[in-house]
Amino acid sequence: MVDMVTAVPPMTPEAAVQHVTTTNPLFELTTATIRGTQFRVFKNIPPHARALLHASRAAQADGAADYLVFQDDRWTFDEFTNEVHRMAHVLERDFAVTKGIPVAIAMRNYPELLILVLAIASIGAVTVFVNAWWTTEELDYALRDSDARLVFADKDRVERIQPLVADLGLTLVGVRDGEGLAGKSYSDLLAACADTTAPDVEIDTDDDFAVMYSSGTTGHPKGVVQTHRGAMNAVFTWLMQAVMAPLVNPPEDDAPPAPRPSVLIVTPLFHVTATHPMFLLSMPAGAKLALMYKWDATEAVRIVEKEKITRFLGVPTQSAELLQASEALGFSLETLDYIGSGGAKRPAAQVEDLARKFPNADIATGWGMTETNAVGIGMAGPDYVARPGSAGRLHPPVQDLKFLDENGHEVPTGEIGEITVKSPCNMRCYLNKPEATAEVLRDGWLRTGDMGFIDSDGYVTISDRKKNIIIRGGENISCLDVEGALHRHPAVAEACAFSLPHDRLGETVGACVQTRPGQSTSQEELNAFLADHIARFKIPERIWIQASPLPRGATDKTDRRALRAQCLESIAETGAV
C-alpha cells in the first residue's frame, strides 16, 4: 500500500513532508470543513474503518499473510477479514444492531476484541471500549452513560456485569472463558453464520467510530467520541512517518531489505495506544500482529524471539522490564527495530540503557491523547537519545500546534503554555458533556490540559499537567475519582489525592484524609473499603491520616501541591516507601 522510497542526500523533515505529500497520491492533502471548521486532511485515504480493512488486503500479501497471532491460534488476513464479516452479520441478524447503535466490549486482550471492533464499525455501529479493570460500580456508570445494551465480555467482566443486567436491560455475550456464563456465546454465534460477504451499510467519514473512556478532572471518566475520519487521519499520519524516515535518514547502500513489520501488543486494547498506532496501523502497514493477554516480560521476550517482532510499544515500565528479562534469558532481541513508549514519561537514564542494549532499534517516545486518536508528538533514534527529556516534534502533516496562557493568548517560543492542537484527528466531543466539550474544544483547537514549551527547533518539552491526573504505569487516574471514593467512608471528613514518585511505574497514588471528630480509621481499612468502589490500580499506595484540616490556598481550596510536598517530606524524614 505504501511505496517506501529512499533518497540521497538526506532531506530535512520539512522537505520530506513536501516531497511525500506532493509525489505520493496516498498522502495528498486537501481541506475539509468539519463541524463548521476547516482542516487539512488526507485526500485519498480510506474514509472509514471498513474501507481501511479492505484497502489493506494488498499490503497483507493479498490476504494470504499471517496477520494475527494469539498463543496457539493464528489467522491469515483473509481469515481475519472473513471472521469480521461473519460477526458483522451476526450483529445485524441476531441483535438488530444498526448504524449508530453503541455496542460495548469488556474484556482483556483477546483476538475477539479486534474482530468485534471492526465488525461493529463495518455496519456503522459504535464500539464502546470498557476498561477491563473497572468495578461493577464503574461499569454501571459507563454502560448508562453510553447507553450500550449489548455487551461482549470475558469471564471476569461477565461476573461484574451480571448484577446490572436486569436493571439496565443488558444482553450479555460471553467470550472465551466467559462462554457458558452469559445468555449467549461468541463461538456459537459465529459458528451459526457462514456469510463472509462485506456489509453494505453506508458510512460517512464523519460518523462516530468509537467511545473510549478517559479519566479527567471530574469524578467520573469522560466518554471520548472518536469519528472514522479522526481515526483514519491518525493512522495515515503514522504511516507517513514511516515513508518519511528513509528520506530524512537514508539507509546505507548495502543495507539489507527491511523485514516485514511485526507488532507485539502488550498494553490493554481498551486504551488508544494499543488500538490505533498498533492495531489499526498494522493493517495498511502490512504488519503481523501478536497479542498478549496480559503483560509478562518473560513471555514477551519469548514472543519477540519466536515471531521475530520488530515493533514494541508500551509504557516505560514495560520497556525496562523487557530489557531485564532479555538479559536474564540471554536473548538479544535483535529483530526489534523500534521500542516506543507512551502513556508516561520515560526516565532519561532508561533511554541510554535501551539504546545500548538494543543497538538495532530506534528508541522512541510519543505523546498523544484519547481525545486526539493518540496522534500528537514524537521522536525516535539519535534525536531522542540526544534529548531524553523532550517529547519530540509534532507529527506532520495534518496537525497544528500552539501554546496558550491562562487567557487563551499564544505564548512566545520557549515559554510555558498549555499544549493546544488542531487536527481532523481530534475527538468530536465528550459524550453527554457539552460543557466539558466547550471547555476544551474551540474552533477546532483542543486544549489538552498539558503544560509545556517548544524550542526554536520545534522540539516540545512537557513540564506539568494542568489537570489533576496521576499516570500510573500509563494508566490515567483522576484525583477527584479517588477522592470521591474516599469521601464515601464514614470516618473521612475530607480527602485529597496526589501523585507519588515510583521507580518502576513512574507515578502511583497517594492520599491524605482528615477524619471526622471522634472517629478513626487506618490505611488497611480504607483500602478494603475502596476495593468495592474503584479499580485496584486507583487505590492509594499510601494514605496519610490526620485529625486536623488539610492545608488550603488563597481561594480556600485544598492546596494539593503543598499537601503533596508535606507528605513527601515525611517520607524523606522517615525513610519509608
Shortest CA distance to 445 belongs to which of 422, 429, 427? 422
Phi, psi of 231 (to 5 degrees): -65, -40
Helix 348-357 vs helix 316-329: angle between axes, to the nearest 10 degrees? 40
Query: What's the confidence (pLDDT) of residue 577?
Result: 42
User: Cell 454501571 maps to which residue?
Assistant: 140
3-state secondary structure of 28: coil
**Per residue in 115-150, pLDDT tens?**
999 999 999 999 999 999 999 999 999 999 999 999
Domain extent, residue 488, equals 469-574
Asked if 516 contacts 492 with a C-beta cutoff of 8 angstroms, the reply is: yes
Helix (H) or strand (E) holding 342: none
pLDDT given for residue 217 in this prediction: 47
Q: What contacts 173, CB < 8 A, 6 or more positions away?
A: 150, 151, 152, 153, 182, 183, 184, 185, 186, 189
**Beta strand 262-265 with 288-291: parallel, antiparallel or unpaired?**
parallel
pLDDT the model gives residue 254:
84
Task: Give me 359's grid cell.
Answer: 543497538
Q: Which residue in this structure is represented by grid cell 524471539?
A: 305
What's residue 7's pLDDT?
44
Give me the residues paired with residue 42 across strands.
29
CATH number at residue 559: 3.30.300.30
3-state secondary structure (DSSP) of residue 276: helix
Q: Where are the alpha helices (DSSP H) in 13-154?
A: 13-23, 49-55, 77-95, 111-122, 136-146
Q: Residues 242-291: pLDDT tens digits? A: 999 999 999 888 888 889 999 999 999 999 999 999 999 999 999 999 99
Rounded Cα distance between 146 and 432, Å, is: 9
Q: Are 11 and 202 in contact (CB under 8 A)?
A: no
- Spatial CB neighbours of 342, under 8 Å, sequence gap ≥ 6: 273, 313, 314, 315, 365, 366, 367, 368, 374, 474
Strand order across the beta sheet in which 542-546 lies: 492-502, 506-515, 542-546
Q: Is the pTM of this model over 0.75?
A: yes
Residue 344 lies in a domain: no
In the three-class reduction of DSSP (H, G, I as helix; E, B as strand; rest coil), residue 71 is classed as coil
pLDDT value at residue 473: 86
**Distance between CA atoms of residues 185 and 515, nearest Å:** 48
Alpha-carbon distance values, 247 to 11, 286, 376, 381, 489 (Å): 6, 20, 21, 15, 59
For residue range 462-514, list pLDDT tens digits in order.
877 777 888 888 888 888 889 989 988 999 988 999 999 998 888 999 999 99
- Total structural domains within the chain: 2
In a domain, 488, yes or no: yes
| Cα 303–chain centre separation | 22
3-state secondary structure 498-526: EEEEECCCEEEEEEEEEECCCCCCCHHHH
Residue 171 β-bridge partners: 150
End position of a domain, from candidates 188, 206, 224: 206
Alpha-helix residue ranges (DSSP H) falling in 24-76: 49-55
Q: Is residue 47 one of the residues assigned to a domain?
A: yes
Closest CA to 541 of 468, 493, 469, 470: 470
Q: What is the pLDDT of residue 378?
A: 96
Domain assignment present for 345 = no
In a domain, 176, yes or no: yes
Domain assignment of residue 30, yes or no:
yes
Backbone angles phi, psi at 438, to 5 degrees: -65, -30
Kindly report the CATH number assigned to the domain that includes residue 193: 3.40.50.12780
3 state DSSP class of 336:
coil
Report how far residue 227's alpha carbon sits from residue 35's, in angstroms, rounded to the nearest whole number.
Answer: 12
Strands of 171-174's sheet in order across:
184-185, 171-174, 150-153, 102-106, 126-129, 208-214, 222-227, 429-430
Tens of each residue's pLDDT in the chain, 577 residues: 555 544 468 999 999 999 999 999 999 999 999 999 999 999 999 999 999 999 999 999 999 999 999 999 999 999 999 999 999 999 999 999 999 999 999 999 999 999 999 999 999 999 999 999 999 999 999 999 999 999 999 999 999 999 999 999 999 999 999 999 998 999 999 999 999 999 999 999 999 999 999 865 456 899 999 999 999 999 999 999 999 999 999 988 888 888 999 999 999 999 999 999 999 999 999 999 999 999 999 999 999 999 999 999 998 889 989 999 999 999 999 999 999 998 777 878 789 889 999 999 999 999 999 999 999 999 999 999 999 989 999 999 999 999 999 899 999 999 989 999 999 999 999 999 999 999 999 999 999 999 899 999 999 998 777 778 888 888 888 888 899 899 889 999 889 999 999 988 889 999 999 999 999 999 999 999 999 999 999 999 999 999 999 997 655 678 888 999 999 998 877 654 4
- Looking at the DSSP bridge assignments, the partners of residue 546 are 514
Return the C-alpha cell found at 564. Answer: 503533596
User: Which of 206, 229, 249 lies at the terminal end of a domain, its last residue?
Assistant: 206
- Give me 459's grid cell: 522540539
Compute the C-alpha angle 327/328/333, nearest 5°. Answer: 40
**168 inside domain:** yes
Cα–Cα distance measured from residue 493 to residue 117, given in angstroms and rounded to the nearest whole number: 44
Would you say the C-alpha torsion 233, 236, 241, 247 has a positive or negative sign? Answer: negative
Within 13 Å of residue 413, how many CA atoms lie on the same side as its CB? 5
- Amino acid code (one letter) for 358: F
Which of 169, 188, 206 is the endpoint of a domain? Answer: 206
Question: 452 near 394, Cβ under 8 Å?
Answer: no
Q: What per-residue confidence (pLDDT) applies to 481?
A: 86
Q: How far is Cα 575 from Cα 134, in angstroms, rounded to an integer?
A: 33
Cα separations (Å) of 328 from 295, 325, 415?
17, 5, 44
Q: Is residue 511 part of a domain?
A: yes
